[in-house]
Amino acid sequence: MNKHFYTLVSSILLTAAATYGQEPTPTDIMRYNQSDLNGTARFRGMSGAFGAVGGDLSSLSINPAGGAIFNHNTAAFSLSYLDRSNKSTYYGNKEKENYNGLDLGQMGAAFVFNNYNENATMKKFTIGLNYESTKNMRNDVFFRGMSNGNSLGDYFLNMANNAKVDHNISNPQGIREDLNNNFNYDQGYSDAAYYGGYVGQQSFLAYQSYILNQGQGNGSYTANYNQNSRYDQARRLSTSGFSSKFSGNFAAQLGKKFYVGANLNLHVIDHTQSSMASEVIENPGSKGSIHTMNYFNEMYTYGTGFSFNIGAIGQLTESLRAGLSYQSPTWYSLKDELIQGMSNSIVGESPVNFYPRVVNLSGSYRVKTPSHFTGSLAYVINKKGLISVDYTYKDYSNNKFKPTSDDTYYGLNEGINAMMTGTSEVRIGGEYLINQVSLRAGYRFEQSPYKDEFKMYGDLNSFSAGVGYTFGSSRLDLSYSRSHQTYKTHLVDTVGPSAYAAADIKNTNNFVSLTYNISF
């Protein structure tokens, strides 16, 4: 079986036949909807409750009319330190993984243009440019447990049998039994995708690594592993990359008490997820049957998106402001690159290490995230402090993969519509000024985007605190924020309901942010 030994090398075979990526799942959409609520330390210290406050570069992402609150040209630069932990529970076994590192949180500037004509309707206008890291995707998750249920091999067995994958796709020209080893396995893996799609490719991978045997009829398969055993199962997920946003803002003050604004936003996604699903079969069986399986996937997703938002702020009284804003959908254009491999040990035989030197390239596809509305109130206390509340409604069932004419994306959108729902998000923040020192605190709550019967993600809870010190025309701000959210994942990702028990993950993020502001 050494004829199947391959290592992943830097040379990559790119063929038109290998244009089938890993099947997307309904939970993948969360990658494009989640945000760390990143930004300036003042913004984070008040948990982002800035919809009616304005006067902060990060507040423009909530309500672009906040740009017109600035009285002076302003620039800000922010750095964040992230400590992220994931505690997993799988079949009663608990594991923990941590990540920590620095992140460029924000940088930008706003320029104020005053109109000194007292009779003019537009008292001033502002132009702002801002960059924010909306999501640091660096993350590590590990779970492990002893299962009495399905084997990892059942994923491949059921896929091949349900699709009745032709034997000539999983084993073209009888290559597994070819002792002369004259076949190009990389090309065979690509051809399996061309003739059998993703299902054919996975069947080829499983058959050539001896997880499956062919049944008597064409399109039928049997397990080459013990299906009546316990299984020590584990999965390690490592993600890296980021999502970020570049915003151009225009805002204006109309009269003495009304502010309007708009943003144009460019979004960038650059994300890699590496996954290793592993299984040790407690009672592997006779010679020639599988003892351990290791299924490797690495998906690289990249692309850009566009969105806009508009908003208004009104001065209701000397102390009370109200804001209303609209965030459009974000329209992404994305591509995927997938590499895969399998490493198995076999009772009484040499191990099989099958890593095709192939990158599967997806065609360009589109993702549209939902729009949302935010209503805000802010009360200023004797110019010494303020209390602010934001409420946002967002319907996650409006997420869409496109083109919808594609059967895969049509089914995926049907799953999103059935599983996801509208959510409410509340942000509360406060600030109090003592001479040159500003003290801040905040709280954020966001409902789960999933219906109760599909609770893949739980509610998000976050609290924050911060302090600022003013040096005349400049200010230094420091904040700390902590968020909690639970979610579920499985041994392998599937489009429909999973045959595997869910691992429960408790995710905790601790951010420390530092911002330098200067007015000029």
Domain ranges of the chain: 2-519
What is the residue-level pLDDT of the chain in tens, covering all 520 positions? 333 333 222 222 232 233 333 556 667 788 888 888 889 999 999 999 999 999 999 999 999 999 999 999 999 999 999 999 999 999 999 999 999 998 888 999 999 999 999 889 999 999 999 999 999 999 999 999 999 989 999 999 999 999 999 999 999 988 887 766 667 889 999 999 999 999 999 999 999 999 999 999 999 999 999 999 999 999 999 999 999 999 999 999 999 999 999 999 999 999 999 999 999 999 998 999 999 999 999 999 999 999 999 999 999 999 999 999 999 999 999 999 999 999 999 999 999 999 999 999 988 999 999 999 999 999 999 889 999 999 999 999 999 999 888 877 888 888 899 999 999 999 999 999 999 999 999 999 999 999 998 889 999 999 999 999 999 999 999 999 999 999 999 999 887 778 899 999 999 999 999 999 999 9
Burial-class residue 508 by CB neighbours within 10 Å (0-12, 13-18, 19+).
middle
CA atoms within 13 A on the CB side of 405: 0
Q: Give kind and range of the element (H or E) at residue 139.
A: strand 139-147
pTM, two decimals, is 0.90
Q: Which residues contact 61 (CB under 8 A, 6 or more apart)?
A: 39, 130, 132, 245, 247, 263, 309
Is 96 in contact with 84 (CB distance < 8 Å)?
no
Tokens coding 74: 């302003």
Comparing C-alpha atoms, which of 37, 134, 110 is closest to residue 446?
A: 37
CB atoms within 10 A of CB 442: 26
Buried b (16+ CB within 10 A) or exposed e, 222-251: ebbbbeebebbbbbbbbbbbbbbbebbbbb
pLDDT at 267: 97
What does the H/E/C string look like for 4-37? HCCCCCCCCECCHHHCCCCCCCHHHHHHHCCCCC
Classify 2-519 by CATH class. Answer: mainly beta
- Inter-residue contact 142 to 97 (CB < 8 Å): yes
Residue 20: per-residue pLDDT: 34
CA 203, CA 350: separation in Å to the nearest integer?
Answer: 21
Residues 6+ apart with CB under 8 A from 458: 448, 485, 486, 487
Strands (E), 282-351: 290-315, 320-327, 331-346
Question: Which residue's structure tokens are 């058959």?
Answer: 207
Spatial CA neighbour of 235 closest among 178, 284, 296, 289 = 296
Query: Hey, what are 427's tokens?
Result: 């942000």
Q: 322 in helix, strand or coil?
A: strand
CB 356 within 8 A of CB 341: yes
In 3D space, the residue among 456, 397, 401 whose CA is nearest the CA of residue 421 turns out to be 397
CA 19, distance to chain mean position in Å, is 23
Helices 153-163 and 185-208 pack at an angle, to 10 degrees, of 110
Q: Is 364 exposed, middle or buried (0-12, 13-18, 19+ CB in 10 A)?
A: exposed
Residues 339, 477: Cα–Cα separation, whole Å: 44
Helix (H, G, I), strand (E, B) or coil at 323: strand
Q: For 457-490, b where at least 16 C-beta lie within 10 A, e where not — what string?
A: bbebebbbbbbbeeeeeebebbbbbebebbbbbb
Q: In this structure, what token pair is assigned to residue 44? A: 């984070």
Q: What's residue 25's pLDDT?
A: 67
Q: What is the pLDDT of residue 181?
A: 67
What pLDDT does residue 26 have? 64
Structure tokens at 431: 């600030």
